[in-house]
Structure 1
Amino acid sequence: MHSSRDQRPGKGDVTPTRILDAPDLADDFYLNLMDWSTLNVLAVGLGTSVYLWNVQTVADSGDSITAVSWVRGGYNLVVGTASGRLHIYDTLSCQLLRTYGKHDVISSGGGDCLIYHRDIREAGRRPFGSGSHQGEVCGLKWSPTKDISTAYLASGGNDNKVLVWDLRANKTSPLWRFRSHTAAVKALAWDPRESSRGSMVDEIDTGSQVCNMVWSMHSTELLSTHGFSSSGEHNLVRIWDYPKHATVRSLNGHKNRVVHLAMSPDGSTVVTGSGDETLRFWRPFDVADRRTTMRSELDHGRLIR
Structure 2
Amino acid sequence: MAQFTLENELNSALRMDAPLTRVAPMGYQRKALNDSECNASLNISLKTPKKNANKSFSGSKTPSNSASGSSKKTPKSGGKLGTPGNRTRTPGGDRFIPNRSTSQFNLGHYKHMMEQKGPDESEALLSPSEKEYKRVMNENLNGDLMSSKILSFKAKAPSAPESFNSNLRVLYSSSKTASTTKKAMRQVPQVPERILDAPDIMDDYYLNLLDWSVTNNLAVCLGGAVYLWNGTTGTITQLMGMDNDDEYIGAVSWVKEGNYLAVGTSTGEVQLWDVVEQKRLRNMAGHSARVSSLSWNSFILSSGSRSGNIHHHDVRVPQHHVATLAGHSQEVCGLRWSPDGKFLASGGNDNILNIWSAQFNNLPEDNQPLHVFSQHQAAVKALSWCPWQPGVLASGGGTADRQICFWNCNTGTHLSSVDAKSQVCSLLWSKEHKELISSHGFAQNQLTIWKYPSMTKVADLTGHTARVLHMAMSPDGTTVVSAGADETLRLWKCFEVDDQKKKVQKSVNKDSSKSFRRAMIR
Fold shared, TM-score > 0.5 on shorter chain: yes
TM bin (shorter chain): 0.7 to 0.9
Aligned equivalents of 1:126 and 1:53: distance in 2? Answer: 31
Listed as ranges, the matches of 1:18-33 within 5 Å are 18-33=194-209
Partner of residue 152 from structure 1, selected from 328, 343, 359: 343
How far apart, CA to CA, are the structure 1 residues paired with 2:321 and 2:455? Answer: 45
2:463 counterpart (233, 237, 253): 253
The normalised TM-score by structure 2 is 0.51
Which of 269, 280, 284 is equivalent to 2:490? 280
Deviations 1:102-142 (A, max 9, x none): 44971000111001102100122543000011211011011
Could you tell me which amino acid in structure 2 is paired with residue 156 of structure 1? G
Unaligned runs of 5+ in 2: 1-185, 231-235, 292-299, 392-407, 503-522
TM-score, reference length from structure 1: 0.85
- Give, in whole Å, the separation in 2 of the partners of 1:164 and 1:283: 32
Q: Is the 8 A contact 2:360 2:367 kept in 1?
A: no
In 2: Cα distance, 1:71 partner to 1:123 partner = 19
The amino acid of 1:68's aligned partner reads: V
Q: Which residue of 2 aligns with 1:46?
A: 222
1:194-213 equivalences under 5 Å are 194-196=389-391, 197-198=408-409, 199-213=413-427
Aligned CA distance change for structure 1 residues 81 and 238 (closer, same or farther; 3 Å): same
The higher-RCO structure (CA 8 Å, 6+ apart) is 1
**What's the offset of the Cα at 1:255?**
0.6
Which amino acid is 1:153 matched to?
A: L
Question: For residue 318 of structure 2, what is the amino acid of its counterpart?
Answer: A
What residue is the counterpart of 2:330 in the other structure?
135
How far apart are residue 89 of structure 1 and its match?
A: 0.7
Distance 1:237 1:185 in 2: 18
Q: Secondary structure at the match of 2:414?
A: coil
CA positional deviation for 1:178: 0.9
| 1:1-305 correspondence runs (5 A) | 12-54=188-230, 56-62=237-243, 63-103=247-287, 106-145=301-340, 148=341, 151-170=342-361, 172-196=367-391, 197-198=408-409, 199-229=413-443, 234-288=444-498
Is the CA contact (8 Å cut-off) linking 1:11 and 1:286 kept in structure 2? no
Indicate the RMSD between aligned Cα atoms, in angstroms. Answer: 1.9
How many Å apart are 1:286 and its aligned residue? Answer: 4.8
Higher mean C-alpha displacement, 16-25 vs 240-249: 240-249
The runs of at least 4 consecutive aligned structure 1 residues that moved more than 3 Å come to: 102-105
| Preserved contact between residue 11 and residue 285 of structure 1 (Cα < 8 Å) | no
Give the deviation of 1:11 after TM superposition.
5.1
Once the two structures are TM-superposed, the CA of residue 282 in structure 1 deviates from its matched residue by 0.5
Which amino acid in the other structure matches residue 254 of structure 1? H
8 A contact 1:215–1:221 mirrored in 2: yes
Unmatched 5+ residue regions in structure 1?
1-9, 292-305
Amino acid at match of 1:48: G
More helix by share: 2
Q: CA contact under 8 A between 2:354 and 2:370: conserved in structure 1?
A: yes
Q: Which has the larger radius of gyration?
A: 2
What displacement does 1:169 show? 4.4
User: Would you say the 8 A contact 2:325–2:367 is kept in 1?
Assistant: yes
Tell me the residue number matched to 1:295: none
Determine the C-alpha separation between the residues in 2 that align with 1:201 and 1:29. Answer: 26
SS class of match (2:418): coil
Distance 1:226 1:126 in 2: 35
Per-residue Cα deviation, 1:171-195 (whole angstroms, up to 9, x for no partner): 5111111110000000001111223
Q: 2:262 is aligned with what amino acid?
A: V
Q: Distance in 2 between matches of 1:125 and 1:190?
A: 26
Q: Return the letter of the residue paired with 1:183.
A: A
Q: Deviations over 1:215-242 (max 9, x none)?
A: 000111110000014xxxx101000011
* Identity in percent: 46
Distance in 2 (alpha carbons) for counterparts of 1:279 and 1:239: 18
